[in-house]
Amino acid sequence: MIKPKTEKEIEIIRQACRITKDTLDEIEKHIKVGVSTKELDKIAHDYIISRGARPSCLGYCGFPASICASINDEIVHGIPKANRRLKDGDIISVDLVVEYHGYNGDAARTFLVGNVSAEVRQLVEVTKQSFFEGIKNIKGGSFVGDISHQVQTYVEKHGYSIVRELVGHGIGREMHEDPEVPNFGAMGAGPKLKSGMTICVEPMVNMGDKHVKFMADGWTCCTRDGLPAAHYENTILIKDDGVEILTM
Ligand code: MF3
Ligand code: CO
C-alpha cells in the first residue's frame, strides 16, 4: 500500500527538491578539467549545509560522501576521491539526495568535461530525453510500467541498453520508498500511480550492452564492457492531470 503525500508534506519535499537542484547547478559551475571528485563533493556538502539541509547520501549504508560521482564507464554510486581528476572528454554523472525538515529530494545529471565526442554526447542526450519520454502522458491512474516502457522503448530505439540491476523509487521521509520504478517493462504493469505520490525516475543507460559489474569498493557500479554510461534523474510529483518535476 503506497500512501500519497499530504499537501503539507509535498510543500516540504518541494523545498528539499529545490535545494537538490540548486546544488547540482552549483556543482556544474565547477565541472572543469583538473577538478577532483572529492573537491566537487566538498562543494556540494558545504552548499547543502549552507541551505540548512543535510546531504542524505553521507553515511547512508556507510556511503562516505555527499554525492555519487561516476565517470565514463562508471554508471552510478562512484565514491568521490582526491586523486580522481576530471580529464578532457570525460562525462561525469553526479547524483545527490538532500534532506530538508525530514523529507528528501533526489536528482542526477551527467555533465560533459571539455571536448566530448559526438558519440558520447548523443548517449548523454538520449539518456536525458528518455526521462522526458518516460513521463509523457503520465498522471494519476497511470501505471509504473507505463513509465518503464516509455523509457525502455526510447533508449533501445537508439541502440543503447537499460541497466536492470538498479531502478528508480518512491521518495519521502526515506530516500528509497515504494514503488520501485524500473526503466524497463510493459505498459500497464506494476502499481497504479496516484495523485500525491512522489517518485524518482532515473534512467541509467549503457552505450554498449546492459551488463554491469560492481567494484571492490562495494559501491561503484560499472559497465562490464567498459563502454560509457549516462544517468539522469528527477524527483516528480504525480498529479491528477500530469506530473510536476520537482528538481528542475
Ligand atoms: N541517489 C541514489 C538513488 O537514486 C542514491 C545514492 S546511494 C547513496 O538511489 F548511498 F549514496 F546514498
Ligand atoms: Co534516486
Q: What is the pLDDT of residues 129-180, one digit of tens each?
A: 999 999 999 999 999 999 999 999 999 999 999 999 999 999 999 999 999 9
Pairing of strands 168-170, 204-206: unpaired
Q: Which three cell numbers stand for residue 23?
A: 546544488
Q: What percent of the chain has pLDDT over 90?
A: 100
Average pLDDT, the chain: 98
Q: Which atom of ligand 1 is nearest to the CA of 202?
A: 4
Domains annotated for the chain, with CATH where assigned, are 7-245 (3.90.230.10)
Q: What is the mean pLDDT of residues 20-33?
A: 98
Distance CA 202, CA 181 (A): 8
pLDDT tens string 179-219: 999 999 999 999 999 999 999 999 999 999 999 999 999 99
Distance CA 53, CA 31 (A): 23
Specify the pLDDT at position 118. Answer: 98
Q: Which three cell numbers stand for residue 32?
A: 572543469
Q: Which atom of ligand 1 is nearest to the CA of 176?
A: 9
Query: Which ligand sits nearest to residue 24's alpha carbon?
Result: 1
> Measured in angstroms, how far is the CA atom of residue 126 from the centroid of ligand 1?
22
3-class DSSP state of 150: helix
Q: Taking the model in full, what pTM does it have?
A: 0.98
Specify the pLDDT at position 1. Answer: 79
Ligand 2 (single-atom ion) residues, CB below 5 Å: 106, 200
What residues form DSSP beta bridges with 85? 36
- Which residue from 150, 158, 151 is spatially nearest to 119, judged by alpha carbons? 158
pLDDT tens string 85-99: 999 999 999 999 999
Distance CA 212, CA 128 (A): 20
Return the DSSP state at 210.
S
Q: Directed axis angle between helix 144-157 and helix 118-135, to 10°?
A: 160
Q: What is the mean pLDDT of residues 94-105?
A: 98
Return the DSSP state at 180.
E
Specify the pLDDT at position 7. Answer: 98
pLDDT tens string 62-73: 999 999 999 999
Query: Which ligand sits nearest to residue 60's alpha carbon?
Result: 1
Phi then psi for residue 242, to 5 deg, are: 155, -150
Specify the pLDDT at position 234. Answer: 99
> Measured in angstroms, how far is the CA atom of residue 235 from the centroid of ligand 2?
8
Angle at 214 between CA 33 and CA 154, to 5 degrees: 75
> Measured in angstroms, how far is the CA atom of residue 198 from the centroid of ligand 2?
11
Distance CA 198, CA 246 (A): 9
> Measured in angstroms, how far is the CA atom of residue 233 from the centroid of ligand 2?
7
| Residues lining ligand 1, Cβ inside 6 A | 57, 60-61, 63, 68, 77, 95, 97, 106, 200, 202
Query: Which ligand sits nearest to residue 200's alpha carbon?
Result: 2
Distance CA 204, CA 210 (A): 10
